[in-house]
Chains A and B, each alone.
Chain A
Amino acid sequence: GQSLEQPSEVTAVEGAIVQINCTYQTSGFYGLSWYQQHDGGAPTFLSYNALDGLEETGRFSSFLSRSDSYGYLLLQELQMKDSASYFCAVVNTGGFKTIFGAGTRLFVKA
């Protein structure tokens, strides 16, 4: 089968750095995306990795290693507003299905 595994919860303090991991089992995919979703809101796109390596977008960075079937989202200078759920996602090459991980709930404490 195809699946993406994420930790269910992560807690960090304001101003800190947090890493949310995503390990996957899929036969083939185009790239790894990350989305943020606040309670009651819609998912919003954060970052995308087509190739191995690090992509940086402001306070957020994302990393992919296809050889390790692993990726992560790095959030720096955490703010209270970063408290939300974070999802990794792929589009598989066989059938164009979009697969989301179950999400990681991030709690940022003062």
Chain B
Amino acid sequence: DSGVTQTPKHLITATGQRVTLRCSPRSGDLSVYWYQQSLDQGLQFLIQYYNGEERAKGNILERFSAQQFPDLHSELNLSSLELGDSALYFCASTPSGTPDNEQFFGPGTRLTVL
């Protein structure tokens, strides 16, 4: 158990819908990262937040947005969902905003878009 929690574990929805994925980092960690992993694919970096502020941005679609709240939990919002958005979504956390070598990953949310 990494100490990072993600909810829900599974999510099934329809095309065109909007969902929110939630992540709570390890106690004391200030940075949260979001990744997308499609079937049998690598991890695609979406976005990083540090202490409430956006720190780095990857190939995140305009239909996706994220934020980190004062209590440091983070939410990833996915809208106008398409079939291709079906994937595992992981969040990870690290203690600081500097490039931390070891990221601690949550168990993931499996999103299925029908």
Alpha-carbon gap, A45 to B57, bound state (A)? 22
Which of these binds chain A: B11-19, B75-83, B97-105? Answer: B97-105
Scan residues 49-92 of chain A and give those whose CB is less than 8 A from a CB of chain B.
50, 87, 89, 91
Q: In the complex the two chains form, is B103's CB within 8 Å of A45's CB?
A: yes
Q: What is the chain A residue whose CB lies nearest that of B58? A: A97
Report chain B residues within 8 Å CB of A48: 101-102
Report chain B residues within 8 Å CB of A100: 35, 42-45
Alpha-carbon gap, A96 to B104, bound state (A)? 17
Q: Is B25 interfacial (CB-CB < 8 Å)? A: no
A-facing mask of B57-75, CB < 8 A → 1, else 0? 1100000000000000000
Interface size on B, as a range, is 20 to 34
Q: What is the chain B residue whose CB lies nearest that of A90? A: B99
Q: In the complex the two chains form, is A42's CB within 8 Å of B41's CB?
A: no
Report chain A residues within 8 Å CB of B103: 33, 43, 45, 98
Q: Is A99 interfacial (CB-CB < 8 Å)? A: yes
Number of residues of chain A lying within 8 A (CB) of chain B: 22
Partner of A98, one of B2, B45, B107, B108: B45
Binding site for A on B (CB under 8 A): 2, 33, 35, 41-45, 48, 55-58, 90, 92, 99-108
25 A-B pairs, CB-CB below 8 angstroms? A30-B101, A31-B101, A33-B101, A33-B103, A41-B107, A42-B2, A42-B108, A43-B43, A43-B92, A44-B105, A45-B101, A45-B104, A48-B102, A50-B101, A91-B100, A95-B56, A96-B99, A97-B45, A97-B57, A98-B33, A98-B45, A98-B103, A100-B43, A102-B41, A103-B42
Report chain B residues within 8 Å CB of A99: 45
Most buried by B among A87, A96, A102: A96
Q: What is the chain B residue whose CB lies nearest that of A46? A: B102
Alpha-carbon gap, A108 to B60, bound state (A)? 35
Q: In the complex the two chains form, is A102's CB within 8 Å of B101's CB?
A: no
List of 5 A-B pairs having minimum Cβ-Cβ separation, nearest first:
A91-B99, A96-B56, A48-B101, A42-B105, A102-B42
Report chain B residues within 8 Å CB of A43: 43, 90, 92, 103, 105
